[in-house]
Amino acid sequence: MRLKLCIILFVILFTGIISANFEIGDLPYSIEKQYGPSDNIKGWLNISLNNEPADSIFKDPNNNSIGLVDLLDINNIKYTCDTINCVSDYSASKEETTKNFNLNARESKIIGFKFNEEITEVTSVEFNIESDVTTSCYNQLTVDLFNDGTIDIGNNKIINSSCSFLKKYGCFDNNKGTDEYTLGTTPYCQKIALSESPGFKLGAWVKKISGNKDLTMSLYNEYGEEIEDTTCKLKNASTEGEEIFCDIDYLVTESKDSYVCINSEGGNEEYNIKGYFDSEGCGFYGYPTKSETAAYSIFAEGKMFDNFGLLNISNSLPNMNSIGESVEDYIVGKYGSLDCSNDCIIPIKIISGENQTITIKDLKVDHIKTSGQVIGNQFYDLIEIPAKVNSEFQKLDLGFGNFSVQNEIGNQTFYINLNDEKIFSEEINVEKIPEIISITPTVVMAANPTEFSVIVTSDTGTNITDYEWDFGNGETKKTNTNKVSYTYKSTGKYDLKITVTDSNKRSSYKVFNIDVETPIQAVNMTLNKKLENINNLKLQINGLPIFYQHSLNPILDLDNLEDTIEGIQKNYAAASSDEEYTNILINLFNLNTPKLITITKTADSLSFYPDKNNINLEVLKEIGGGDYNSSDKDEYINAIFSWNEENINTKISFKEISIDYEDRIEPAINIFELNMDEKNDLTYNSYIVFKELKNLSFKENYLEKKESGYIYINSKDIKNTITFSTTENVDFASLPLFISPAINRLSLTKDSSFVEEGGKKSRWIIFILVLFLLLFLGFVLYIIMQEWYKRKYENYLFKNRNNLYNLISYIENSKKKGLKDREIINKLRKSGWKSEQIIYVMRKYSGKRTGMFEVPVEKILSIFKKEKITQKRQIRNKPIKRRRNLQVKKSTK
């Protein structure tokens, strides 16, 4: 390899001595040194090439790679090759009518045929391939005609056996909480990377509700086009719900993304499918393609390839192209014409997936030469000779290569190799930097002031201090807010680059495409975009569970929004002047149009423990009767905790659903699911009690009742689970809810250390007074720290509460995957979380005490106000156990 880099070693070694007086030309490379996790590399490489093989590969430490010619083309670099279109050349030898050879798994061999005269037409090409390889879950043998990286032919024989490890659900995670959706004529679809297989089982988890209508699975390509002969009918599902499937024969020679869909054939019957809403999902409700904002229990399972045996390759390819015509196109593209006086060689690459013996035979190349029609029958062994690339020094933008840094926080060594030769190596730093999400508007009018607004997220404890706007025409502005006003003077397309810097001096940038149009065109483009957003949103809403739809529809108010847009459309149709179009565009800019809905917080099946401050004994007294002594309030609250611990196992799931507008993301509703399993068979009533919340809505009729600003539900009136939504700003940790039986069902304990007689009581009082005098200062300090931990510690650790929810969700998913606490902690540390944050969230997830051991200040102070304690209480049931971070007094005997 002869690779020239513009690197002046003398300058690099002695720049500290002579840089002030020395001028140099282009530097060899330049990359930015600061990145966020998994960011793409930003920088350039100054490179010249001299007879560099065209099949050379650029590669980084993370195995991201791109071909040399591909990177040159993306950068619009000028270069030359020693062949037309930089296609490889070949040398041919060993002429034979039959080729026999052995290949191991993942080995390949190039053979071919050639023309040695001027031809006018290639009528057809046929040959046979034979192999002794047996059945396999992988394609045992594939053929790449012309050695262009495209698999044209493979084993297409199928047996009715599937390969379970090839079963793919796309993005669906069965460990996550799911909802059930009603199947109708509109399909539910999921993007799935189909395996290299001769056929598939297409299926889904389906529950039968009623009736017996037909269900259909279908397959669409990545462009949303239905693939012919790939629909099949599903068998009937059970009323409990199960995975059902049907079979299709469809050869996939290379793994590729496709859409697997399920729908019903109509009728009054009903079936449900299982899934969940996920703004980063791969599924959607509707025909392909749509915004992917869900995940469903839909799958595709590859079938097994049969023995290869003998495969006859006729003139027709699976994609319906003619091999003869394709050979003509290849010759013209590589050699410039059909004049093969100096030999035109046609390569055929044989790729082996298993160890096997292969025979290639019976070649018939029917073609017409100037002298007449002939049939060629000779194969040749070919050796590939890559084209040679040459160029002068030019800068390659590395951003086009999709090279990236690692996800771990900290210092890293980044390098780029060209084949086995290292081009450069550089130390970089990966940390949490500001992330630029979006900008509005992206379509503006020329010669009219426009206010641009950018959405940026930053790390906990930091804020954005500087915004630099480069409008793509040589003009820039700086602001300390996320808005700027600017006027583009002429129409066209501009690259608006925004650079933001946070309070820790960490910066990032992003480039957005801005269309500057005439007023009439700007209105037309903006109006169409808003209508498209609304249509996509309606499809997304229709694909949600019915309860989600009922909760979201009043907030979105799409009917009113559509009426407003309809009025704007009428004004647009009647407008004729730039002034009228300008006013219409201003109205469109001011119209608050949602793009989609997204889940911004989530927690799944976490143990629920109420905050003691949310337990209201007065309301409980009104609900269930009974009474209590206000001086024993803490003991009753502790008794509620003990009752929960002994009698029910309560889990809570939570989703915060937000609306993604063009200029911001805004929380819309919080949805809670509370699941209660009785540990003991309770023969008396217990109550779910919580404060009235804003726009509270229940999934079902739970016979809920109101009392003094609270809602309560008798647990005997529900089937273990209640689901409700609210627009109140609460989450699973702050939800004002508790579960308890009536007051007279609670079991209290009494600390009898103060119910001693005579001398024992006096001795205790003296002891407490002496202890109080000795430890007064330390005790006061401890109380201060205790209150700070109780009220401020969590906010101190997680100034952005989203981080807390994300960590808890991560721990929950890791636990379900079988990871141990130590493994989870190590992964969190590598991701940059502090030990103090990790310890806190691990204890919170486990329901353990997260703050200091809590001293019951009010109870201790009340001791000194009492002259004599005479009341003794009967202990019912079991004594109260110590419960996590709650202060519970033990009785002593």
Rg for the chain, CA atoms, rounded: 36
Query: Is residue 608 pLDDT above 70, yes or no?
Result: yes
Q: What pLDDT band is residue 246 in, cutting at 50, 70 and 90?
A: very high
Distance in angstroms (rounded) separating the CA atoms of residues 582 and 568 = 12
Give the tokens for residue 31: 């990359």
Contact predicate 426/33, CB 8 Å: yes
Give the tokens for residue 678: 């009785």
Distance in angstroms (rounded) separating the CA atoms of residues 332 and 102 = 33
pTM over 0.75: no
Q: What is the mean pLDDT of the chain?
A: 85
* Paired strand residues for 89: 385
Model pLDDT, residue 758: 40
* Paired strand residues for 249: 199
DSSP 567-630: HHHHHHHH--SHHHHHHHHHHHHHS--EEEEEEEEEEEEEE----GGG--HHHHHHHH-----G
765-795 exposure pattern, b = at least 16 Cβ within 10 A, e = fewer? eeeeeeeeeeeeeeeeeeeeebeeeeeebbe
* Paired strand residues for 607: 651
Distance in angstroms (rounded) separating the CA atoms of residues 502 and 462 = 6
In degrees and rounded to multiples of 5, residue 778 shows phi and psi of -65, -35
What digits encode the pLDDT tens for the residues 420-478?
Answer: 888 899 999 998 889 898 899 999 999 999 999 999 988 767 899 999 999 999 999 99
Model pLDDT, residue 788: 54
DSSP 820-881: -HHHHHHHHHHTT--HHHHHHHHHHHTT---SSPPP-HHHHHHHTT-S------PPPSSPPP
Query: Is residue 287 pLDDT above 70, yes or no?
Result: yes
Query: Is residue 750 pLDDT above 60, yes or no?
Result: no
Residue from 511, 461, 516, 510 nearest 834 by CA: 461
Q: What would you measure as the largest C-alpha separation in the chain, in angstroms?
A: 131
CA distances from 91 to 341, 380, 587 (A): 15, 9, 68
What digits encode the pLDDT tens for the residues 536-560?
Answer: 888 888 888 889 999 999 999 999 9
Share of the chain above pLDDT 70, in %: 84
Query: Is residue 875 pLDDT above 50, yes or no?
Result: no
Contact predicate 302/195, CB 8 Å: yes
* Paired strand residues for 349: 110, 144
Element (H, E) at 714: strand 710-714
